[in-house]
Amino acid sequence: MSAYLVTLVILVSVAALVGLALNLQWGLAGLVNFGVSGFVALGAYGVAITAPHIGWLPAMIFSALLCAAISMALALLSIRLEENYLAIVTIGFGEIVRILLLNEGWLTGGALGIADIPRPFAAITPPGGGDGVILAFAIALVALVFVLLELLVRSPFGRVLRAVRDDATVASALGKPVLALRVRAFAVGGAVMGLAGALHAFYLTYIDPSQFTPIITAYAFMAVIAGGRGSNLGLLLGAGSIMALLEATRFLKDLVPSIDGAQLSALRLGMIGIGIVLLLILRPQGLVAEPRRRATEFFPNAKGEG
């Protein structure tokens, strides 16, 4: 049971990291990324390939930088156009990553994947204590990313991103470099997705392309919509409750024995789809609405009129 609990916490941590990243890109900056699974896969393979040679910390940094650089390139290509183009470019990117991972066997092991990925602190871990260490590592990583992103959201950078999202024309009329801001937001998001992939690889110590399907993307969107676009705290709530709900559907099999594995996964994914649509229609602000600050907070002496 405790092993199961560890799995659950790690699953939620990975989902939370991916969600936080998407929340920055889509929630805060208004940039759609349908290629989330591709970035997570890239991050995971980045550490899987480099960690045995350069150690876990440099490998994680490498993965994050790699994902940031690729996000930047994709963003530069398509961000100056309408949202539709960024969406299709990122969806294409996700598929291309999957195809490359499957077919470039010399680097990625093809469909067999990569095994024996070294975990962080493996050398100083007491035997049998592996789960505790990775658990602490996951929680620390999520906490660190959460705090950094919260600082970012509250910084002038976060404010101007919201302004760009709400009205790019007004922001650029005020002299804000809209394109550069968007590219930076997209790159930071990509880096965090890379970290999520790294955590995934460290926990499982074995990765293959079938672990990185577009389902990851769907979960991330669901988490952001459920938690409330732009609110990091809401996102943690959203990601946690969704993963818990999804895990709970496992027990559906005991209740309805006639259901088979494929049907169960179809049911889960269909529910996610329905959830996304219903929340968009009924509660677009999510569980926790984006924190809005009034102008009077910035100018306490001014006589605000509401």
Give the interface with other proteins as residue ranges (CB under 8 A): 26, 30, 32, 34, 77-78, 80-85, 87-89, 91-93, 95-96, 99, 102-103, 168, 214, 218, 221, 225, 260, 262-263, 265-267, 269-270, 272-277, 280-281, 284
Q: Give the count of beta carbons closer than 10 Å to the beta carbon of residue 130.
A: 16
- With H, G, I as helix, E, B as strand and everything else as coil, classify residue 250: helix
Comparing CB distances to other proteins, the nearer of 74 and 117 is 74
- C-beta closer to other proteins: residue 132 or 284: 284
CB nearer to other proteins: pick between 155 and 263: 263
Q: Are 155 and 205 within 8 A, CB to CB? A: no
CB of 26 to other proteins, least distance (A): 8
Least separation in angstroms between residue 99's CB and other proteins is 6
Instruction: At 218, list the tokens.
Output: 């769907």
CB of 145 to other proteins, least distance (A): 23
What is the Cα–Cα distance from 164 to 158, expressed in whole angstroms? 10
Token pair recorded at residue 49: 């390939």
Closest CB to other proteins among 131 and 290?
290
- Nearer to other proteins among residue 85 and residue 157 (C-beta): 85
Nearest to other proteins of 94, 197 (CB atom): 94
CB of 22 or CB of 114, closer to other proteins:
22
The DSSP output letter for 251 is G
Shortest Å distance, C-beta 197 to other proteins: 21
Q: How far is the CB of 193 from other proteins (least distance, A)?
A: 17
Q: Other CB atoms closer than 10 Å to residue 139's CB: what's the count?
A: 14
Q: Which parts of the chain fold into alpha helices (H)?
A: 2-22, 36-54, 56-78, 83-103, 105-108, 130-154, 156-166, 168-173, 178-204, 215-227, 232-248, 252-255, 261-282, 295-298
Amino acid at 234: G
CB of 225 to other proteins, least distance (A): 7
Class of residue 176 by CB neighbours under 10 A (exposed 0-12, middle 13-18, buried 19+) = middle
Taking the complex as a whole, the smallest distance from the CB of residue 284 to other proteins amounts, in Å, to 7
If one counts every other C-beta atom within 10 angstroms of the C-beta of residue 265, the result is 12
- Of 71, 117, 114, give the one whose Cα is nearest residue 94: 71
Q: Compute the least distance from the CB of residue 77 to other proteins, in Å.
A: 5
Alpha carbon of residue 271 to chain centroid: 20
Tell me the backbone φ, ψ of residue 143, rounded to 5 degrees.
-60, -45
For other proteins, the closer CB: 34 or 202: 34
